[in-house]
Amino acid sequence: MKRILLVLGLFLGLSVLSPVVYAVERLVVADAPTLLTGLVGIAAEKGYFAEQGLEVEIKDYKTGDDATRAMFEGTADIATVAETAFVFDSFREKDFSLFATIGSWDNEVKIVARADRNINSIADLRGKRVGTHPKISVHYFLSQALLKYGLTMRDITPVFKKAGELPATLEAGEIDAFSLREPFIGEAFQRLKGNVKVFAEPGLYWKTFSLVARNKTLAERPDALQGFLRALRKAEILVREQPREAASILAARLNSTPDKIAADLDQVKLRLGLEQRLVYVLENIAAWALDENLLTAKAVPNYLLLIDADALRKVKPNSVTIIK
């Protein structure tokens, strides 16, 4: 009896001293690295995903459209994407949902022109060859910027190429300008040694980057997705309370400088949310795509059916203002 009690005591003692080992869940994230997806990079760098019991692999893609392709093909569980690419996906894919926004800015996309092409304003783009990546946010911004100055896409010669190809195309002189975001704007500066002009239109287009996943992932892995969002929530707090540290992390990820990123962070909103305004923006972009004959469909999807707020409500309930 004493021997049994001794063995039991040793077992209980060892169980108290032994660390509890939890199963680690793995998530693959297809990310389009930009300031608006910065919470993902910060959470990874600071180890916030690991704190949630997650092993997160981040795969980088040039655009959100490329990132969602990876998700639909099954090589990623989550993708980061801007509204425009999400809208085009919504016309050809049904089995996926947007489950949180993570960053927004009304001055991310800009028009960059060669300084030797006599372009002093966006109005001077008439008759010029202007490059952009088709059917994503930079294409939408170009269309809206032209409209502000009394032009349409038919008043320019659009050159549609992948975003990563356009800085070299501008350097070669094959186009006069392009509509893009960082890091492609910075690359153009480097390639042309500053021989460029940049035209910004703050307030013209409030761009948002969001997280999307297949509906099966949302249904079968709620704990992992909530843990993922909790890690981003912690990154959001770091941006607010330690902006210089956040700027340093993002500068390394985006091949920029801490001062440049810190200045941009004063304008950018890196935070989790699902606002009613998002539905209005999605509907406007869908209407634009149909008006421009970029789609063969006739009806705009019901975007409320493509938004799943369950995970975010568990993590940050007050940030969900979408009404269904």
pLDDT of the residue at 281: 92
Domains and CATH numbers, the chain: 25-105+207-319 (3.40.190.10), 110-199 (3.40.190.10)
In this structure, which amino acid lies at residue 58? Answer: I
What pLDDT, in 10s, does the model give residues 186-219? 999 999 998 999 999 999 998 999 999 999 999 9
Contacting residues for 265 by C-beta, under 8 A, at least 6 apart: 35, 239, 243, 246, 247, 250
Q: Which residues of the chain have pLDDT under 50?
A: 1-22
Burial class (CB in 10 A: 0-12, 13-18, 19+), 130: buried
CA angle 314, 207, 178 (to 5 degrees): 150
CA angle 61, 162, 131 (to 5 degrees): 140
Paired strand residues for 103: 209
Residue 65, CA distances (Å) to 139, 162, 248, 250, 280 in order: 12, 11, 27, 22, 21
Token pair for 38: 């910065």
Phi and psi of 149, rounded to 5°? -105, 20
CB 159 within 8 A of CB 129: yes
Max intra-chain CA distance, the chain: 97
In this structure, which amino acid lies at residue 225? Answer: L
**How much is the pTM?**
0.85
Residue 263, CA distances (Å) to 33, 46, 107, 208, 248 in order: 18, 22, 12, 19, 12
Residue with tokens 């340093």: 248
CB 138 within 8 A of CB 182: no
Q: What is the SS3 assignment for 135? A: coil
